[in-house]
Structure 1
């Protein structure tokens, strides 16, 4: 049973550029401009009109955009929940400008051991993450640690939790690795069970529907769980609407100040109707599109996702903004 018919999330790619070269990501390899403030303001107003609740300013590295604070302010003016994930390299420099504008601030950390984290990111940034935590706390921010889980680092969850998260009062977000475009990898059944166990711990967030989806072999064309195109609007740095999702990127439509009209057009809605049913959608388990998919249709994944969703939004204080009234 479909509970919400309108899009609820926007993945707004401010740039594909990045100051790191993570081996499990290929976004940074793409040439890219930066989103303009004028186009973003128009789009953010249309996102609100379409019913979007959450806007994720992403990349690449979103802090490379010199007007990120103004983009965040515009989103807050429209009553949207804002989220930013950063590698921390630039956060201490811009933290004062961003203070109070990010509802869900995530610092990426792949290991509690500096050398291992820096190796995974292709740049020395562990110390900047630790510095960013301190700076954020001094400003009254409540950041989280986003830990992308692989087979080779899952054993480090206890150390990361005990040495970094709990002493600083941070939520540890467990982000199971996924495969796309020949990057990423899969997790074993034992690792998935271990993740489920950790997700029940205090100050740990894991969407257990991610685990269930992997157990089930990902999205299936004959009965798709993916609702990427109807739940999530993807806007590129070139000011284009990307369908059905960033990773598949089947078609891009120039927005030109008419996002709402464009999204509701017959041509776009025909592509929306193919979500989860295209050949490349078979077996997909991409977290950033599955999470909103779990939120709009009552099924077993909705029930699996519900406890962790309530837990996290209660901790962050964003639950009131997600209510339908």
Structure 2
């Protein structure tokens, strides 16, 4: 049994439990206390999942905050726009997100572990009942895991292959070794770790090996992400994108041990998702998650509200 932190709330009379590792939102089959709660992840995994569109709330279930553009790696499939200015005011944005009805806040980048204030920001993000996570390339995770452990509910580490040859091809020499060391350190500190792998034509055949690696490292699961032709990734789209149908078939063919949480995030699911980028504006994935558009600067909680006729995902 693995007991870890989830976020629980009631929205539009629907009880919800958000998992900061898988980013899935569940509907519990029993009463659950409101706020940040300790639950058995095996029990939560049995509860049905529900999407934003099915509940019709105006505030997203969860958001990704790409707090900075800076990164120590230069991955050719990166979703970020390297030309965006970094607004700063990180503490102000963190407090605003904490004060909203968002169930889950994830800090991404760029590379969030380059932020000296990361632990303070995570503490703020989780101070009002939301679950908090961090998505990282893992390069600095071994060093920072002890300070993150008290304030983060899950860490997601990106992998493009199950070994150094495959992974470093995309992320640079030494990346695999550093990421593996980071995952081991995080697990040792009691942080739930979810491995993230982007499904591409060049990587999909290694999906089973990535699951095997996750089990070996003690991760709680693997999320397979459909490649989005956004940011740097637009240059690879024609050669590397896999259809949602083929992605589903790939994941359906995989085997994983009991207790490992495996999820596929299709482009269909990613459509409408809310991202706060480094320039301080609210963005949404649009046109089947093949593009991303800014809607407005994030100045108040109401700026997070979803368009009336659009849902936002996960």
TM-score by length of 1: 0.67
Answer whether contact 2:98 2:126 (CA < 8 A) is retained.
no
Q: How does 1:1-325 map to 2 (within 5 A)?
A: 2-6=54-58, 7-27=60-80, 29-33=82-86, 35-47=88-100, 51-162=101-212, 164-170=213-219, 171-180=221-230, 181-184=234-237, 185-187=240-242, 192-198=248-254, 202=258, 203-207=260-264, 210=266, 228=272, 232-243=273-284, 248-256=291-299, 259-263=300-304, 272-273=307-308, 275=310, 290=313, 292=314
2:78 counterpart SS class: coil
Q: Quick one: distance in 2 between partners of 1:226 and 1:129?
A: 25
Q: Normalized per residue, which structure has more strand?
A: 2
Answer whether contact 1:85 1:108 (CA < 8 A) is retained.
yes
Alignment deviations for residues 102-155 of structure 1 (CA, whole Å, 9 cap, x no partner)? 222111111112022112114531110111122112212221211222222222
Alignment deviations for residues 166-187 of structure 1 (CA, whole Å, 9 cap, x no partner)? 2232222222323334444322
CA 1:38–1:159: 2 relative to 1, 3 Å: closer
Q: Could you tell me how far 1:251 is from its partner in structure 2?
A: 3.7
Ranges in structure 1 where 5+ consecutive residues have no aligned partner: 219-224, 277-288, 293-325
Q: Quick one: distance in 2 between partners of 1:179 and 1:22?
A: 13
Answer whether contact 2:198 2:227 (CA < 8 A) is retained.
yes
Answer whether contact 1:226 1:275 (CA < 8 A) is retained.
no
1:11 counterpart SS class: strand
- Corresponding residue for 1:299? none
Q: Could you tell me how far 1:252 is from its partner in structure 2?
A: 4.8
2:296 counterpart SS class: strand
Alignment deviations for residues 171-222 of structure 1 (CA, whole Å, 9 cap, x no partner)? 2222232333444432265554121222776425123x73xx6xxxx5xxxx
User: How many pairs does the alignment contain?
Assistant: 251
Q: Quick one: distance in 1 between partners of 2:203 and 2:291?
A: 28
1:195 counterpart SS class: helix
Q: Could you tell me how far 1:250 is from its partner in structure 2?
A: 3.6
Q: Normalized per residue, which structure has more helix?
A: 1
CA 1:261–1:121: 2 relative to 1, 3 Å: same
Q: Quick one: distance in 1 between partners of 2:216 and 2:271?
A: 38
Q: Rg bigger for which structure?
A: 1
Q: Quick one: distance in 2 between partners of 1:159 and 1:227?
A: 28
CA 1:81–1:46: 2 relative to 1, 3 Å: same
Deviates most, 187-196 or 138-147: 187-196
RMSD across aligned C-alpha pairs, in angstroms? 3.0
TM-score by length of 2: 0.69
1:206 counterpart SS class: strand
CA 1:137–1:155: 2 relative to 1, 3 Å: same
